[in-house]
Amino acid sequence: MNLKAERQNLTEFPELVGVYTVISIFDNQIETLPAALWQQTELRILNLSANKIKQISPKISNLVNLEMIDLGHNQIAEIPVGIGALPHLQTYLYLHDNSITYIPDEITQLSNLEYLNISQNLISKLPKCIGNMTGLKELKVEKNQIKTLPVSFGDLVHLQELNLTNNLLTVLPETFSNLKALCTLHLDDNKINELPVYITGLKYLSLRNNNITIIPQKITSMAQIRKIDLRGNQIKSIPKEVMELEYLERLDLRWNPILKIPDFIDALKERGCLVWV
Number of structural domains found in the chain: 1
Helices (H), the chain: 264-270
pLDDT of residue 16: 96
Residue 266, in any domain of the structure = yes
User: Where does the pLDDT of residue 265 fall: very low under 50, low under 70, confident under 90, or very high at 90 and above?
Assistant: very high
CATH code, domain carrying 227 = 3.80.10.10
pLDDT in tens, 56-114: 999 999 999 999 999 999 999 999 999 999 999 999 999 999 999 999 999 999 999 99
Q: Is residue 212 part of a domain?
A: yes
- Distance separating alpha carbons of residues 4 and 6, to the nearest angstrom: 6
- Within a domain: 62: no
Residue 42 to residue 82: CA distance in whole angstroms:
17
Q: Is residue 203 part of a domain?
A: yes
The C-alpha atoms of residue 125 and residue 229 are separated, in whole angstroms, by 26
Instruction: Indicate whether 21 belongs to any domain.
Output: no
pLDDT of residue 94: 98
For 131-141, write each residue's pLDDT tens digit.
999 999 999 99
- Quote the pLDDT of residue 255: 98
Q: What is the mean pLDDT of residues 25-32?
A: 98
Which pLDDT score, from 0 to 100, does residue 165 have? 98
Residue 258 CB contacts under 8 Å (≥ 6 apart), including other chains: 235, 236, 237, 238, 277
Q: What is the pLDDT of residues 184-195, one digit of tens each?
A: 999 999 999 999
Nearest partner of 248 among 217, 270, 231, 263, judged by Cα: 270
- What pLDDT shows up at residue 45? 98
211 within a domain of the structure (yes/no): yes
Task: Quote the pLDDT of residue 137.
Answer: 98
pLDDT digits (tens, 9 = 90+) for 203-236: 999 999 999 999 999 999 999 999 999 999 999 9
Residues of the domain holding 189: 183-277
Give the pLDDT band of residue 252 (cuts 50, 70, 90). very high
Q: Is residue 223 part of a domain?
A: yes
Give residue 221's pLDDT.
Answer: 97
Structural domain includes residue 152:
no
Hey, what's the torsion of the CAs at 71, 75, 76, 77, to 10 degrees?
A: 150
Dist. CA 135–CA 148, nearest whole Å? 22
pLDDT confidence bin for 32, thresholds 50/70/90: very high
- What is the pLDDT averaged over residues 152-177? 97
Kindly state the average pLDDT of the residues 192-202: 96
DSSP state of 16: P
Task: With beta carbons less than 8 A apart as the criterion, state whether 73 and 97 touch.
Answer: yes
Average pLDDT taken over every residue of the chain: 97
Tally Cβ neighbours within 10 Å of residue 174: 11
Count of CB atoms situated within 10 Å of the CB of 187: 24
Residue 13's pLDDT is 97
